[in-house]
């Protein structure tokens, strides 16, 4: 009788553990709301900031894009902080920085104070961008890692929608007050995030790095699907951390990393990487670069300006159409979260970049036509602009959006994961900053339609890069990534490996 009930007990434990990892991932990924809210709220608040402070387009570009460069400080500091105090409490640091930054922006009396608030908030954004996907990848079972790690992108989009809603809700306040309330109210999610952290366990990989094997076992027993998987993962993590296999007990001694060893890690990452690390670094930098070089920030951050160019001039209509963009992104990224571990990374990535390229051509064509004719004479072009924008954010959210955090957080070896991810985030933020700080000037130089034709060309190149350089990682444990990048070509062999994996799963 007991034997017959055992599979049911195991199945209940499996579901319970996946649900526990699910809740941990949600709590950690809420750190991404702060970036999403900033992107969403600034797109609408910029209209009123420019009117109230009487700043130029160049000043506005700097205000919008400078946060990405400020976030570099946070992302690199987060790598060190997360190795020092743990992944969990690094989330609190992110929340604290953004809380102070949001208050400073909300109380800003002029452009200089507003820029200082952007600096503080930017550091918090950098912390959140780095720590949320790293923590989630480290607490997720391999079978659901893509789904859970994609929550970071889901919550960025939730934050964007909240920012758009804030724009719409406070747009009717007096000019000097409306945009300040929009920015200042962003402090609220930070407080909620800091409180929720106390319901999260620490990453088992960080615990092992600190020699706390008993604590790591407890967490792994809660998040692994089977006891055998928990034991296997602990053994893999110990090996990756340099702890002898025979070492056991509640707490073991772990050799401290010396400054010379840390310099050696950077040397291996950048100056003289092994072929495997070189492939991982190339995949990371290429993926992070192309995500932002696609022009997504130009579409999302300047969506009111884009829709104005398309002939929609009423403020309420602009903000309502912008809200539609945010809702579309959020709905589609939820779909992507479900598909990541079922379809795989490569198929979604290639579909995403191909669809984005076609959508950008449609948007560029519509904007070019509207720019040469009164909108009333070419309603089809206005409709093409709106449709293409929604299609673009949909294709972005089904692949390239969530995939960047998922893929980057899972391919680095344990001892360089935090720092390696920080390098990827740095590339992402620099590219985002350049794109968002040059969009208005670029549009003036080659027209807004020409700008999106340029982005379409870049996205086409990204499709080629993804096809040739990114192997399939679905179903692989984090400790297997070095072998994958060291022995499998990113093209046909990766697809063959994915097919073999799928076949074995179906057989099982």
Using the 8-state DSSP alphabet, how is residue 430 labeled? H
Least confident span in 254-263, 390-399, 465-474? 254-263
Band of residue 278 on the pLDDT scale cut at 50, 70, 90:
confident
pLDDT of residue 241: 72
pLDDT at residue 253, as a whole number: 65
Neighbouring C-beta atoms of residue 401, cutoff 10 Å: 27
What's the gap between Cα 321 and its chain centre? 24
Give the separation between CA 354 and CA 398, rounded to whole angstroms.
12
Question: Residue 1: pLDDT band by 50, 70, 90 thresholds?
Answer: very low
**The pLDDT value given to residue 6:** 54
Residue range 409-429, pLDDT digits in tens: 788 876 677 678 778 878 888
Predicted pLDDT of residue 492 = 35
The neighbour count for residue 242, using CB atoms within 10 Å, is 12
Which contacts qualify for 487-496: CB closer than 8 Å, 24 or more apart? Answer: 490/283, 491/467, 494/346, 494/470, 495/346
Residue 115 has pLDDT above 50, yes or no: yes
What mean pLDDT do residues 389-407 have?
88
Q: Is 242 in a helix, a strand, or coil?
A: coil
Average pLDDT, the chain: 81
Distances from the Cα of 491 to the Cα of 102, 184, 255, angstroms: 45, 48, 39
pLDDT at 458 over 90: yes
9 pLDDT band, cuts 50/70/90, is: low
Distance linking the first and last C-alpha atoms of the chain = 25
pLDDT score of 143 more than 90: no
CATH architecture of 259-501: Up-down Bundle (1.20)
- Alpha-carbon span 357 to 443, nearest angstrom: 18
Backbone angles phi, psi at 48, to 5 degrees: -90, -30
What is the model's pLDDT at position 362? 95
pTM given for the model: 0.71
- Tokens 């809740």 sit on residue: 23
Residue 440 has pLDDT above 60, yes or no: yes
Q: What is the pLDDT of residue 180?
A: 94
Are 481 and 497 contacting, i.e. CB atoms less than 8 angstroms apart?
A: no
The secondary structure of the chain in percent helix, strand, coil, rounded to multiples of 5, reads: 85, 0, 15
Q: Sorting pLDDT into bands at 50, 70 and 90, what band is 350?
A: very high
Query: Has residue 277 got a pLDDT over 50?
Result: yes
pLDDT band at 257 (very low <50, low <70, confident <90, very high): low
Q: What is the pLDDT of residue 403?
A: 83
Name the token pair of 194: 């800091």
**Both structure tokens of 99:** 């809380």
- What is the share, in percent, of the chain residues with pLDDT greater than 90? 22
CA angle 208–472–243, rounded 5-degree value: 15
Give pLDDT, residue 463.
96
| Contact criterion met (CB below 8 Å) for 332 and 465 | no
- pLDDT confidence of residue 491: 41
CB 499 within 8 A of CB 293: no
Q: Is the pLDDT of residue 156 over 70?
A: yes
List pLDDT tens digits, range 46-103. Answer: 889 998 999 988 898 899 888 888 988 887 788 788 888 888 889 889 889 989 999 9
Range 14-254 has CATH code 1.20.1250.20: yes
**Mean per-residue pLDDT, 404-411:** 82
Instruction: Name the segment(s) of the chain with CATH classification 1.20.1250.20.
Output: 14-254, 259-501
Out of 27-41, 230-244, 301-315, pick the least confident: 301-315
pLDDT in tens, 280-335: 888 999 999 999 999 998 887 777 777 877 777 776 777 777 778 888 888 888 88
Residue 171 has pLDDT above 70, yes or no: yes
* DSSP secondary structure, 252-270, as one string: ---PPPPHHHHHHHHIIII
Please give the Cα distance from 21 to 384 (Å, whole number): 42
Please check whether residue 354 is in contact with residue 289, taking contact to mean a CB–CB distance below 8 angstroms. Answer: no
Q: Percent of the chain having pLDDT more than 70?
A: 86
Give dist(CA 222, CA 324) in Å, integer. Answer: 39
Average pLDDT of the residues in 214-219: 88
11 band by pLDDT with thresholds 50, 70 and 90: low
Query: Two tokens at 431?
Result: 């590219």
Q: Is the pLDDT of residue 139 over 50?
A: yes
46: which residues sit within 8 A by CB, 6+ positions away?
60, 63, 64, 304
CA distance linking residue 321 with residue 164, whole number of Å: 10
């Amino acid at each position: 009788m007991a034997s017959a009930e055992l599979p049911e007990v195991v199945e209940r434990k499996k579901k319970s553990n996946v649900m526990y990892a699910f809740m941990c991932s949600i709590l950690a990924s809420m750190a991404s709301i702060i970036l999403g809210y900033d992107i969403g709220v600034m797109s609408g608040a910029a209209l009123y900031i420019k009117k109230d402070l009487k700043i130029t387009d160049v000043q506005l570009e700097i205000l919008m894009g400078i946060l990405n460069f400020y976030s570099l400080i946070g992302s690199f500091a987060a790598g060190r902080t997360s190795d020092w105090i743990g992944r969990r409490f690094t989330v609190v640091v992110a929340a604290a920085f953004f809380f102070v930054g949001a208050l400073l922006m909300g109380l800003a009396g002029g452009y200089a104070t507003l820029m200082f608030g952007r600096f503080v908030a930017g550091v918090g954004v950098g912390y959140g961008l780095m720590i949320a996907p790293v923590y989630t990848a480290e607490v997720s079972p391999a079978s659901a890692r893509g789904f859970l790690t994609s929550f970071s992108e889901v919550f960025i989009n939730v934050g964007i929608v909240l920012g758009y809603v804030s724009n719409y809700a406070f747009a009717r306040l007096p000019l000097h007050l409306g945009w300040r309330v929009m920015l200042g109210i962003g402090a609220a999610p930070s407080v909620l995030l800091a409180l929720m952290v106390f319901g999260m366990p620490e990453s088992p990989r960080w615990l092992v790095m600190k020699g706390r094997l008993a604590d790591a076992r407890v967490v792994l027993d809660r998040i692994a699907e089977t006891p055998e998987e928990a034991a296997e993962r602990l053994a893999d993590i110990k090996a990756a951390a340099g702890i002898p296999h025979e070492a056991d007990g509640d707490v073991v001694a772990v050799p401290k990393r010396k400054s010379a060893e840390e310099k050696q890690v950077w040397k291996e990452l950048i100056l003289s990487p092994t072929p495997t690390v070189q492939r991982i670094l190339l995949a990371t930098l290429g993926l992070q670069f192309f995500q932002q070089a696609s022009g997504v920030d130009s579409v999302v951050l300047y969506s009111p300006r884009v829709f104005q160019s398309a002939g929609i001039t009423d403020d309420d209509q602009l903000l309502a159409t912008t809200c539609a963009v945010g809702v579309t992104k959020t709905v589609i990224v939820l779909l992507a979260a479900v598909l990541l571990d079922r379809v795989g990374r490569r198929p979604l990535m290639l579909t995403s970049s191909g669809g984005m390229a076609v959508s950008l051509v449609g948007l560029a064509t519509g904007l070019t036509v509207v720019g040469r004719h009164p909108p009333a004479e070419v309603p089809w072009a206005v409709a093409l602009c709106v449709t293409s924008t929604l299609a673009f954010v949909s294709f972005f959210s089904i692949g390239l959006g969530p995939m960047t955090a998922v893929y980057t957080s899972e391919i680095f070896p344990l001892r360089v994961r935090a720092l390696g991810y920080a390098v990827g985030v740095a590339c992402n933020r620099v590219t985002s900053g350049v794109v968002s700080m040059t969009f208005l000037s670029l549009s003036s130089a080659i027209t807004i339609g020409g700008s999106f034709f340029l982005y379409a060309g870049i996205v086409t190149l990204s499709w080629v890069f993804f096809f040739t350089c990114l192997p399939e990682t679905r179903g692989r444990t984090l400790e297997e990534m070095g072998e994958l990048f060291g022995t499998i070509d990113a093209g046909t062999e990766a697809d063959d490996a994915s097919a073999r994996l799928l076949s074995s799963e179906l057989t099982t």
